[in-house]
Amino acid sequence: MKKVGILGGTFNPPHMGHLIVANEAFHALQLDEVRFMPNAIAPHKQLVNDATMNERLQMVNIMTEPYPEFKVETFEVDRGGISYTYDTMVALCNKEPDVQFYFIIGGDMIDSLHSWYKIEELIKIVKFVGLKRPGSNSFSTFEVQMIDAPEIALSSTMIRHRLATGGTLKFLLPEGVEAYIRKEGLYGTR
Is the N-terminal amide bond of 13 cis, ω within 30° of 0? Answer: yes
What pLDDT sits at residue 108? 83
Contact (Cβ atoms closer than 8 angstroms) between residue 118 and residue 41: no
Q: What are the backbone angles phi and psi of residue 90, rounded to the nearest 5°?
A: -60, -45
What pLDDT sits at residue 49? 64
pLDDT tens column, 73-111: 999 999 998 889 999 999 999 999 999 999 999 888 898
**DSSP secondary structure string for all residues of 76-96:** HHHH-S---HHHHHHHHHHH-
> Which residues, 6 or more positions from 35, have their beta carbon under 8 angstroms from its beta carbon?
4, 5, 6, 7, 70, 71, 72, 73
* Span 2-155 CATH architecture: 3-Layer(aba) Sandwich (3.40)
Which of 121, 62, 112, 90 is closest to 6 using CA atoms?
A: 90
| Neighbouring-strand partners of residue 124 | none
Contact (Cβ atoms closer than 8 angstroms) between residue 59 and residue 11: yes
What pLDDT sits at residue 50? 80
Residue ranges of the domains in the chain? 2-155
* C-alpha–C-alpha distance, residues 53 and 65, integer Å: 18
What does each of the 190 residues of the chain score in pLDDT, given as a tens digit?
Answer: 999 999 999 999 999 999 999 999 999 999 999 999 999 875 555 565 689 999 999 999 999 999 999 999 999 999 998 889 999 999 999 999 999 999 999 888 898 999 999 999 999 999 999 998 877 788 888 999 999 888 888 999 999 999 999 999 999 999 999 999 999 999 988 7
* C-alpha–C-alpha distance, residues 139 and 46, integer Å: 29
What pLDDT sits at residue 133? 80
* C-alpha–C-alpha distance, residues 52 and 157, integer Å: 16
* C-alpha–C-alpha distance, residues 67 and 187, integer Å: 26
